[in-house]
Every structure is written in structure tokens, then in C-alpha cells.
Structure 1
Amino acid sequence: MKVTIYDVAEKAGVSISTVSKVMNNQQVGQKSKQKVLKAMEELDYKPSVLASALTGKRTSTIGFILSDIANPFLAEITRQVEDRAHEAGYNLVLCSTDFKQEKEKRYIELLRQKSVDGFILVGDFKNKDVLVKLTHRGVPVILLAAESHPSLSVNTVTVDNFIGGYEITSHLIGFGHERIAFIAETAGSSQERIRGYKQALQEHSLSYHEDFIVISDSSLEDAKRLAVQLLDSPNRPTAIISSNDLLAMGVLMGVREKELNIPKDLSVTGFDNTLLSKSCDPPLTTISHPIKSMCTQAVDMLVEEIEGVKKEKQKILALPTLIVRKSTDYNPFKTNR
């Protein structure tokens, strides 16, 4: 049977109002307070989160919404955010949207009904109208590992994706690659990485081929299909950049289907430096993000906003790191410009 505030009052030998004052940290005699705390412990009484919400108090819960829990990069972010939130005394309510706007809207509405104290939105959150409504209502929101909307006043913690795209393209150019393809997603992070890719090509006086940038639906199967399509082209690339490590795994599958060797016939790179990049064969050259510090900053900024520490909205831009492994090498098929 569920223990109620009435049971606590009866066991402690005090009034219900005294129990309520203790729960709300209001002034009450020390002797009565100890009686109530002891009764709550013996009865294993847990105050209702919903009841707290109805009285206008914080619920110590954070709505955590991401696009794809199956992505190992987002799974690592989830773990780090949960650890930091727990240290701060908060719990996460996790929702995965599968890149669908209707699910984004439905989960936001559901979590608002549960009176979460704030939101951490991870990755590419597509429903801008929902974000606008949240900010207009004064709901604390953090965008994590996502490009911010210029018209929105929200805190953002992300990595410099332009620099990541520039660094990994420059790495391949340094190995003599001139025909470099890019398998991207529709996310804002991919667009910034493509911008860095184009900048590196331009600085090295290399031609940019429109058909060398292809957009994936974010699945392994589609990345494999696109890789095969690129490798079947008459002027096939000698290197393929993938906008995350998961898509790079699809590229590796496509390369094996074509019976080519990595990196002898084709160099392959990813982004995110997940466990996949370290365990595949050959290990993957990729871009690493400072995930732990990014997640710590995101949770801390959100908690400060929830708890009334007034600060200007911030955009924290972390620097990526190039991790070189065995999936990239010198290009023996270098063309003459």
C-alpha cells in the first residue's frame, strides 16, 4: 500500500501541516523535524513529484531529447549527461525522436505535462516552432551538440564543426587526395562540416565537385548504398568523409562489397571518435569531441538557469581534435591538376 503524508504525520505524532513544512524546508521546531524525518525514513516515504509540480516547486527532473539513441555518439552523450545530472541532484527523462518532428512535439508536450524543470535537446532538433514556444514561456533550454537557431535566445554547447570539416579534409589533402567525397546528413552540424570541407579544398586550389557531396538518411544501409554509388562513378573519389562514425561503418561495408582495400584503394574517415571508430578494421581516422566537458557545461548551465542564477545566454564552441588511425593513407592515384 502506498505511504501517504497522513501516514507520516500519524507515525511522527505531529500534524499534517508540520510534515508539509518539513518537506518544504520551512521553519519548524528541531524536535518535530527529527520526528518527521525519522518517520519518513522508516516508512520509506517518497514525496510525489507531481504534487511538487502542482505547488509550483521544482521536480528535479530534466527532459532529455535526442534524435537517435542507437547512434553511439549520442549514447555516450546520454551517459555523460546522466552522470553529471545525478551529481547535481537531478534525474533525466529520456526520449528519442527518430528524426521525426511530430515525435519532437509530442515528447515536449508530454514532458511539460510532467513538469520537468528544463530541457536538454541533443543533435538536430528540427521543430523550431516548438523551441520558440518553450523560450517564450521562459522554460530553461540547452542545445547540446547542435547548431543554434540564430533567432532563438537559448544556451548552446557544441563543437566547432567547421574546424572539424576543415581539419579532416586538410589531412586527406596532405596525403595527396584530390577527389574527396562527403557523405552528409541534413543536420546543421553536417552543413558546417561541409563548409569546412569546401574551405580546405579552396585553400589548396582543388576543384569542388557537386556530385561528390551526397546526403544520407542517417542509416548504415543508405551510407553503404551511397558509397557504392560514388565508387561506381567514372571519376570515383579516392577518399570519402562521413559526417559521423556510424555512416563510416556503412561506407566500409560498401567498400568491401566492391572488393577494394582500405586505405590502399580508398581512404575513409568519420566524425565523433566513438567506440566504433576504434574497433573496426582498419581503425578509423575521425574527429574527436571533448564530450565530457561539453556535457558537464551543458548540465551546469541548465541547472544554474533552473535554480535562478541569472546569466546572459551563451554559445560555447568546443574545439575538435583530429584522430589519425589506419583508414587513411597516401593516395597513389593522385591526379595532375
Structure 2
Amino acid sequence: MKPTIYDVAKKANVSISTVSKVLNDTGSISDKTKKKIWDVIDELRYQPSLVLSAKKALKTIGVLIPDISNPFMAEITRAIEDSGRKHGFSVIICSTDNDSTKEEEYISMLKQKYVDGIIVATGLRGSQAIRELIESDMPVAMLSRDVPYLPVHTVVVDDFQGGYDAAVHLTNLGHKKVAMIAEDINIPSIKKRVDGFKEGIQISGIAIDDLPILYSSLNLNECRKVCLELLKDTEKRPTAIFVSTEMLAFGVLQAARLLNLQVPTQLSLIGFDNSMLAKLSDPALTTIAQPIEEMGAKVIDLLVDEITNQNQDGRKKVTQRITLSPYLITRDSTSPYVKP
């Protein structure tokens, strides 16, 4: 098997970016490091590919996402791709299926292909591989994932505010028996939505002890089962439910139909994302919208700026954290509480 630039970087104990800079005679690399890399190149008999030599002409960005079948992730990826094209960059999309092994494999692949930068929108299951990626010379930006301890550009939505706004909307409609169904609490964005919802409920004068919060994967059958369990007790049954992401809403709608509960007259439902699912559901879903187009544009702007300026001598890298505001879109799945 022919040696790759990844093999050279590994044996020389440097980043792929450093090897590339030596090959292309760019950046500020010490003579000692240059000699070490050229020695390894000679030892491995590595031959730089034409693709690597044409790196600047290719202008490519890799995007790691958790699940391309999730409509929200598909839409945010489209926004990234559209914004990238405006800057003259192509986009390689890598769907990890929330699998840490796939994360590592994709990161390795993107390094070997030598993309100009990488956008990470996964759940950081392979945190060590991603940490090493961020600590390398590769330009990296995080999207919808807030990792304060890593020095990296980040674009997020104020998830706490979104959860808070959902609670205020439901309580302003007169609902006092409310509940929430969420994904994995270990996902920072989901935890903030839960915390924001709790805060909004407390401000409205409802005791937190009376707030059921249940957890479900995005599997439709599991969410339906969780919701049926929540709704089976007619005395304690909530009159309104907030789901942390819109894929969970369909499990709630199925459970409501099985119990002959009308949405929204008997059960109000509010989601989070404002993907195409919100518009296609029946009834159309009231939701906390994420500014998808703006998110895609901002993360591309940050990454392209770093790619463009990374070789400027003496320029100190300054990472930015951009927090965008979500907003409520009222549709047909919520209505004022009416006493039975």
C-alpha cells in the first residue's frame, strides 16, 4: 500500500497541515521540522499527490453531522452548502449515525483528503478524535454544539431561551398540567432546552415537582410508547407537551390518536427546530424555530476567515462564539386550555 500524507504526519509526529505547508512551501515552519518531515518523506518514499498540490484550487470543506435522515440536519447542511458555494467552497457531507467509530473514520478520511477546514455538528461521541482534530492546525468550527473548554469557533442557538419561550407560550394559553419529552440529557443543547423549560414553568407559578420530564430516543415507536405511558393516567394527564426536537412530535401525535385525544383542543403540542416536519405534520406544528439559514452562513463565515488567514505570519488565532436567538412560530398544534 502506498504511503499517504497521513502516514508521513504520524511518523513525523506533526499535523497533516504542517506536512502540507512543507510540501507547498507555505507558513512558518522551522528548519528543524522541515528537515524531519523531508527525512520521513524520503524514508517512506512518499509521493505527494496532484490533489494535494492543487489544494488551494479545490477549496473544500468537510461537514460532520449526526444523522442526514433528520430533516433539521438535512436543512442545516443545505444552508452550509449554499453558503459555502457563495464563498467558492465545495462541501463534503459525512453522516456519522451517532457512531463514535464512524466519527473517527470520517475525521481520518477528511484529513487524508486534505480538506481546507471541517465543521463539526455531531454529538462529540468520539471526543478524543475531535479534540485532537481541533488541537491540530486544521481550521475547525462547531455548529449547534457548545464545548467551552475547546478553543474553537462556535455557532449555537440559545437553547435555554427556546425552552423558556416554549414554557411561557403554553402557560400563557392557560395550561397548568404540562410535560416535556426530550432526547438524551447528556447532549448539552438538549439539557439547556430542559433547563429553560423548567425555568419558564417556575416563573409561571407551576411547581417543578408537578412537571413530568421523560426521555426518549428519536425512534418513533419508543417515543409513542413513552407518550402513551405519560397520557394513560386521565387524572394526571398533561394538557400540553413540549418536545425537544420535532422528530419526537410524531410519536406524541400517534399516541394522541390511539387514545382519541384531539390536538390541540385536548392536547397542545409544541416542538423545537422548525424543520419541514413542522409544516407537514397534521396539525401543523407550533415550534421554537432555529434560524437555519443564518446558522449556516455564520459558521461558514468563521471557518472561511480562518482558512483564508491561517498562513499569515504573526496573526494570533482568536476564536469566536456566536449565539443566535430562536423564535416562536405559532401554528395549529397549540390552543388555549379549555376545561373539560
Q: TM-score, normalised by structure 1?
A: 0.80
Bigger Cα Rg:
1
User: For the residues of structure 2 that align with 1:56 and 1:299, how far apart are their CA atoms?
Assistant: 18
SS of residue in 1 equivalent to 2:273: coil
Cα distance, 1:123 vs. partner?
Answer: 4.5
Cα distance, 1:305 vs. partner?
Answer: 0.7
Cα distance, 1:58 vs. partner?
Answer: 6.9
Aligned to 2:206: 206
Cα distance, 1:126 vs. partner?
Answer: 2.4
Is residue 101 from structure 1 mapped to residue 107 from structure 2 by the alignment?
no
User: For the residues of structure 2 that align with 1:252 and 1:53, how far apart are their CA atoms?
Assistant: 51
RMSD: 2.1
Aligned to 1:185: 183
1:3-23 deviations in Å (ceiling 9; x for gaps): xxxxxxxxxxxxxxxxxxxxx
Tell me, yes or no, if the aligned pair for 1:67 and 1:125 is still in contact at 8 Å.
Answer: no
Aligned to 1:37: none
Q: Which has the higher contact order (CA 8 A, sep 6+)?
A: 2
The 5 A counterparts of 1:155-234 are 155-186=153-184, 187-209=187-209, 212-233=212-233
Identity among equivalent pairs (%): 39
Cα distance, 1:149 vs. partner?
Answer: 1.3
User: Any gaps of 5 or more consecutive residues in structure 1?
Assistant: 1-23, 25-48
Aligned to 1:276: 277
Tell me, yes or no, if the aligned pair for 1:238 and 1:267 is still in contact at 8 Å.
Answer: yes
User: Any gaps of 5 or more consecutive residues in structure 2?
Assistant: 1-23, 25-47
Is residue 312 from structure 1 mapped to residue 311 from structure 2 by the alignment?
no
Q: TM-score, normalised by structure 2?
A: 0.79
CA shift in 2, pair 1:176/1:62, >3 Å: same
SS of residue in 2 equivalent to 1:262: coil
SS of residue in 1 equivalent to 2:247: helix
Aligned to 1:328: 334
Tell me, yes or no, if the aligned pair for 2:96 and 2:122 is still in contact at 8 Å.
Answer: no
Cα distance, 1:74 vs. partner?
Answer: 0.8
Query: Quick one: which amino acid aligns to residue 333 of structure 2?
Result: S
User: For the residues of structure 2 that align with 1:135 and 1:190, how far apart are their CA atoms?
Assistant: 23
Aligned to 1:6: none
User: For the residues of structure 1 that align with 2:103 and 2:49, how far apart are their CA atoms?
Assistant: 22
Query: Quick one: which amino acid aligns to residue 174 of structure 2?
Result: G
Cα distance, 1:165 vs. partner?
Answer: 0.3
Query: Quick one: which amino acid aligns to residue 326 of structure 1?
Result: D
Cα distance, 1:120 vs. partner?
Answer: 0.8
User: For the residues of structure 2 that align with 1:58 and 1:229, how far apart are their CA atoms?
Assistant: 57
CA shift in 2, pair 1:332/1:157, >3 Å: same
Query: Quick one: which amino acid aligns to residue 140 of structure 2?
Result: V
Corresponding pairs, count: 286
User: For the residues of structure 2 that align with 1:160 and 1:213, how far apart are their CA atoms?
Assistant: 20
Aligned to 2:292: 291
Tell me, yes or no, if the aligned pair for 2:180 and 2:242 is still in contact at 8 Å.
Answer: yes
Cα distance, 1:156 vs. partner?
Answer: 0.7
User: For the residues of structure 2 that align with 1:232 and 1:277, how far apart are their CA atoms?
Assistant: 25
